[in-house]
Chain A
Amino acid sequence: MVANIGYYVLVLTFLASLYGAGAAAYGALKRKPEFVESGRYAMLLTWPLLTIASAAIIWLLATGHYEIGFVASVTSNSMPTYLKVTALWGGQEGSLVFWAWLMAAFTSAASLRKWDRDRELLPWFIMVTMITLAFFLSLVVFFENPFARLWLSADGQQVTAMLQPTGAVPLNPPDGRGLNPLLRHPGMIIHPPALYLGFVAYVIPYAFAMAALITRRSDDRWIRITRRWTLVAWIFLSLGLILGGRWAYDVLGWGGYWGWDPVEIAALLPWLAGTAFLHSVMVQEKRGMLKHWNVVLIILTYALVLFGTFLSRSGVLSSVHAFAKSAIGPMFFVFIGVTFIVSLSLLINRWEMLKGENFLTSVFSREALFLLNNFLFMGILAVSFWGVIFPLISELVTGQKITVGPPFYERANGPLGLGLLILMAIAPLSAYASSTWKTIGRALWKPALVSLLVPITLYFGGIHNPTALLGYTAASLVAFVTLYEFWRGVMARRRQHGENLPLALWRLVGRNPRRYGGYIIHLGVVLMAFGIIGIEVYQTETQATLSKGEQVTLGRYVMTYDDIAVFDTNDGRNVARAVVSVYQDGKLVDELYPRKDYYYDSQQAVTIPGTRSTLADDFYVILVGLDPDSQSDATFKVYHNPLVNLIWIGGVVFSIGTIVAVWVISGRRRANKTPSASKSTRT
């Protein structure tokens, strides 16, 4: 019953989105506003409809309706309720509905703005978003129906179908197969939705860019209208990536957080294009340049969003992230291709209209440095994309499949990342149009001098690795330059307005949130760079098989194996849980409990490390296994991960910076008339 309602609501939503796209476009072409309005109502209807459909799935999941194929494949009796609910995005079918639901929510919210002088964009915005929504809905309506029931066909096969196939009998299993144990983690609540939010939100700037091209608007309205959406998409995408790293670190038990897995890269690619976009739109706003490039970037970002979704859903790759192999792969492929080609053709058709208003004049001008930033981001994007597709290319060209692993990405992206760090130190000191190396040098020499102390101190502190020294020097330079910028701004306010320090800082940031929010984001990146260099260069590890009471040493740490307990839980796991004591410099500092959980339903083990985490380092223990004979001798793998916490703390600072930058909207509206808010070049 609920399943039927859910399915027909999905069909109805699919029709509504098709109608919305058609009516809006027809209304715009024939100049019949009533059709546009009707299309808009259809669009506004999609979100409540999809809410009903999603609620229906969640209800089926939470109440264990295993006669529904999707429910049986992602939930089981032993799963806690929160995981049953979040299983909505744990499988192919549900995640597509969730995606559509988010998209309907975003497009509706974006369409509720005051359109005023941008009314001509509305129908095309509706058309672009509703075509995309219709595509996603067609996948669930025709191919991956979350409401399809399980049947036992006449020849004894289990099949899923909405209606009873001839000769088949309905199945009603008492329990489901359950979610992949690796996904049974609180991270499931937040990592996938954060990424989805990021992915889906990019449809808004993309749709506005297309609407602007179609209506021949050559100004930067589409950028200004979608500024907040772009930042929202970007922060969620960033958060999704960082949370994914954290989850891997906590659960996957290899002592790392990022493995250059193709699906990880698939999520990184739109982030890279989106980050380049975030920087280069400022050049268009300030100088009327790079107009073509910005359209290219948003098309690229959006195509990469679709590509990422495609990679994880088509069965092309299998990894922690991949869903089952599916028939929707070719559909996705065609949709991405069509989106990309149609968008680019439209851009080429409107090429003349988007001529730049200025030319590059100085190598050290802000716009030139932003352009360089874009080159570097595109470089990292090219490297990463190349790594993913290289096996396919080499097979086509030489008939031999050749792959590249993490060393490829690290070797090629390392110098580009370093370049970005250095740029991050210089660019904030530049001005639009007119800086020279002299003006930059004047502002740079003090922080540069201070940051030179860092490698010297480190060198005498025993750090001789050139990568680490170079990376730490560059990161410190960014930190000093950025803090110095804050300091100068605050001091100037104190002089001019006689404000006290906190007030001056508050007003400084509040008057120019995008700039100072950006600086805070840069500081977050600096912290992450420190953490990444720390763990990548200085991670150490050892392993040992211990009897109770024995110990293993790693650097300044000693770990003793105290005890082990093996027991069954009432949610279908067999748990082996060790107790170990950690000594640092001979002093007992912590007791840890590395575990191995074996899930009976999926016959799979999950290794959960014990971690002692401090600002300086993590002591990370994995219980590898128990000796089958004695049942008490245990093997451990132990990692020492220096500075890894700075990655997560950097992520928090990064998020705070973005929230400050989003403040730009409200801040700007209030302060629109004051010259200090709109002036962002250096004085």
Chain B
Amino acid sequence: MGEVTKKRTGQGKFLLGGFLIVAAIVYLIASSTQAAAQYYLTIDELFARGDDLGDRDIKISGVVDGDTIQYDVKNLTLRFTIANVPADLDEIEKAGGLAEALHIALEDPRATRLEVEYIGVMPDLLRDEAQAIVTGRMGEDGIFHADELLLKCPTRYEGDVPLQAEDG
């Protein structure tokens, strides 16, 4: 902001005012970050760090195993298992994109898995090989209790075109 920073008598109070506002904004950003920050971990990292995560909410990303999805409609209780997906973009790139990486991760029998419980509406996008991002806490029972469930389906615009139209 050129004019304000220019030296001239009487401009001091504007400089000071501008400085105070900028300081206030920086404070707002810093304190809100502090208050709302969540660790974003893979399942491997979650198990590796164990208990030293303290009381914070954690975000975990993994790939949904479609066979494990159970939904109790009456109690709105959703349970499913997610398998570890590497967070490293290069590794995902090497696998041939996110969709392919998710597929590989799910097929890998050695990939660590985590059982997730979520109370609420079953999202439309929850299905096999979708990437799930769950926010919540690890329970004593070894089940991850999610308050928030986000899904990404990178296959949505990709993949092969079916060569034969389905019947019906």
Q: Which A residues lie at the B interface, using CB under 8 A?
A: 66, 72-74, 77, 91-92, 150, 158, 171, 173-177, 180, 182, 253-254, 289-293, 315, 318-319, 323-325, 351, 354-356, 358-361, 363, 368, 371-372, 374-376, 379, 382-383, 386, 390-391, 394, 400-405, 407-408, 411-412, 415-416, 543, 545, 568, 600-607, 622, 624-628, 633, 635, 637
Contacts and interface: CB of A to CB of B under 8 A. Distances in A.
B81 to A, nearest CB: 20
Interface of B: 1-4, 6, 8, 10-11, 13-14, 17-18, 21-22, 25, 28-29, 31-33, 35-41, 59, 71, 73-76, 87, 97-98, 121-122, 124-125, 127, 131, 135, 148, 152-154, 156-166, 168
Given A66-B161, A627-B74, A403 B98 contact: no
B10 A158 contact: no
Given A600-B166, A628-B73, 17 more contacts: A174-B164, A290-B3, A293-B3, A315-B97, A318-B154, A324-B156, A359-B6, A360-B4, A379-B25, A391-B40, A400-B39, A401-B41, A403-B40, A407-B32, A543-B76, A604-B127, A633-B74
Closest 6 CB pairs of A and B: A408-B36, A292-B2, A412-B32, A324-B157, A356-B3, A401-B40
Contacts of A73: 157-158, 161
A637 B121 contact: yes
Contacts of B75: 545
B59 A635 contact: no
> SS class of chain B's interface: helix, strand, loop or mixed?
mixed
A156 B97 CA distance: 19
A325 B68 CA distance: 28
A624 B121 contact: yes
30 contacts: A92-B157, A175-B162, A177-B161, A177-B162, A182-B124, A253-B121, A291-B2, A292-B1, A318-B153, A318-B154, A356-B6, A359-B6, A359-B10, A360-B3, A371-B4, A371-B18, A379-B28, A383-B25, A383-B32, A401-B40, A403-B37, A403-B38, A412-B28, A603-B127, A604-B125, A604-B127, A622-B121, A624-B122, A625-B122, A635-B73
Contacts of B131: 318
A78 B29 CA distance: 48
A444 to B, nearest CB: 20
A74 B159 CA distance: 12
A625 B87 contact: no
Contact of B98 (A182, A318, A400, A412): A318
Nearest to B128: A603
A411 B35 contact: yes
Nearest to A407: B36
Which among B6, B121, B148, B152 has the highest number of chain A CB atoms within 10 Å? B121
Nearest to A182: B124
A74 B76 CA distance: 34
A293 B1 CA distance: 5
Contact of B38 (A254, A351, A402, A545): A402
Contacts of B158: 73, 324-325
Contact of A91 (B6, B40, B76, B157): B157
Contact of B21 (A171, A363, A379): A379
Nearest to B154: A318
A173 B71 contact: no
A180 B2 contact: no
Contact of B14 (A253, A360, A400): A360
A318 B75 CA distance: 30
Given A73-B157, A318-B154, A356-B3, A604 B124 contact: yes
A253 B120 CA distance: 13
B161 A72 contact: yes
B11 A175 contact: no
Contact of B32 (A92, A375, A408, A607): A408
B29 A386 contact: yes
A530 B66 CA distance: 43
A532 to B, nearest CB: 18
B131 to A, nearest CB: 8
Contacts of B59: 403
Given A318-B154, A404-B38, A359 B21 contact: no
Contacts of A360: 3-4, 11, 14
Nearest to A290: B3
A325 B154 contact: yes
Contacts of A91: 157
B2 A290 contact: yes
Contacts of A371: 1, 4, 18
Nearest to A180: B156
B76 A624 contact: yes
A150 to B, nearest CB: 7
Contacts of A402: 37-40
B152 A318 contact: yes
Given A319-B152, A401-B40, A354 B124 contact: no
A361 to B, nearest CB: 7
Given A325-B98, A607-B124, A173 B6 contact: no
A570 to B, nearest CB: 11
Nearest to A152: B163
A375 B23 CA distance: 11
A537 B11 CA distance: 41
A630 to B, nearest CB: 10
A150 B162 CA distance: 12
A543 B77 CA distance: 12
Contacts of A375: 18, 21-22, 25
A194 B125 CA distance: 27
Nearest to A606: B124
Nearest to A604: B124
A391 B133 CA distance: 14
Contacts of A605: 124
B161 A404 contact: no
Which among A77, A180, A605, A633 has the highest number of chain B CB atoms within 10 Å? A605
A230 to B, nearest CB: 20
Contact of B160 (A158, A289, A411, A416): A158
A544 to B, nearest CB: 10
B162 A383 contact: no
Contacts of A175: 162, 165
A639 B39 CA distance: 30
Contacts of A624: 73, 76, 121-122
B13 A363 contact: yes
B33 A386 contact: yes
B88 to A, nearest CB: 10
Contacts of B71: 625
Nearest to A92: B157
A69 to B, nearest CB: 8
Given A318-B154, A400-B39, A408-B36, A354 B2 contact: yes
A325 B159 CA distance: 12
A335 B11 CA distance: 39
A407 B71 CA distance: 28
Which among A182, A289, A625 has the highest number of chain B CB atoms within 10 Å? A625
Nearest to B125: A604
A323 B32 CA distance: 31
A177 B159 contact: yes
A625 B73 contact: yes
A514 to B, nearest CB: 23
Nearest to B131: A318
Nearest to A280: B1
B133 to A, nearest CB: 9
Nearest to B15: A360
